Amino acid sequence: MLLKGSCHCQAVTFSVRSHHPYPFNLCYCSVCRKTAGGGGFAINLSGKSKTLNVEGDEHISIYRAVINGEQSTGERHFCKHCATALWVYDPDWPELVHPFASAIDTDLPIPPERTHIMLGSRADWVEVSAQPQDKCFDEYPDESLAEWHQRLGLES
Ligand SMILES: [Zn+2]
Ligand SMILES: [Zn+2]
């Protein structure tokens, strides 16, 4: 499906094609929490980077987090005026771009189950509302965004 997104001040709008649009993957790591996740987590989707279309490119800044003393290759793109987290792009996986579900204006499908990741980094005050069918991981999950959609027959 075609995902359309924007920042809060509307200086940046974008669209990207996604075969994996279910917002199921909740990340509780400190980088997502501080830069994007007011509720304690952020949700990344997956799109094809070749189809990414951006208006307002000049309003975007990039943040590369330092993780365990090393600067991450992941580029967190955000609006430099209103601070909206837009997407993560990692040159190590150049075919993908990962928009934040919070920046998407298109109605997203409701996931039948969710995956809670990086729970080892979650803040104490964040209550995890995991359902019985959900998967939970202290660190990285055991399947990719694409594999989750394939397992549940939700790839489009
Ligand atoms: Zn903005
Ligand atoms: Zn995270």
Whole-number average pLDDT of the chain: 95
Q: Check whether 141 has a pLDDT greater than 90.
A: yes
Number of domains in the chain: 1
What is the amino acid identity at position 106? T
In a domain, 41, yes or no: yes
- Residue 123 domain-assigned (yes or no): yes
Q: Residue 88 is part of a domain; what is its CATH number? A: 2.170.150.70
Distance (Å, rounded) from C-alpha 72 to C-alpha 136?
24
Range of the domain at 33: 2-151
The span from the CA of 112 to the CA of 131, in Å, is 10
pLDDT of residue 39: 73
Average pLDDT over residues 53-65: 97
Phi, psi of 35 (to 5 degrees): -95, -20
Question: How confident is the model over 104-134, as pLDDT tens digits?
Answer: 999 999 999 999 999 999 999 999 999 999 9
Domain membership of residue 48 (yes or no) is yes
pLDDT recorded at residue 121: 93
Ligand 2 centre distance from Cα of residue 4 (Å): 22
Percent with pLDDT over 70 in the chain: 100
Residue at 30 is within a domain? yes
Q: How far is the CA of 21 from the centre of ligand 1 (A)?
A: 23
What pLDDT, in 10s, does the model give residues 84-96?
999 999 999 999 9
Ligand 2 center from residue 40 Cα (angstroms): 10
Asked if residue 69 has pLDDT above 80, the reply is yes
Domain assignment present for residue 67? The answer is yes
Q: What digits encode the pLDDT tens for the residues 20-42?
A: 999 999 999 999 999 987 778 89
- Is 143 a member of any domain? yes
Which residues have a Cβ under 8 Å from the Cβ of 155 and sit 6 or more positions away?
19, 20, 146, 149
- Position 5 scores a pLDDT of 98
The rounded Å distance from CA 129 to ligand 1 centre is 30
pLDDT at 38: 72
Average pLDDT over residues 39-63: 94
Residue 132 is assigned to a structural domain of this protein: yes
Q: What pLDDT score does 40 carry?
A: 80
Q: How far is the CA of 125 from the centre of ligand 1 (A)?
A: 29
Say if 156 falls within a structural domain.
Answer: no
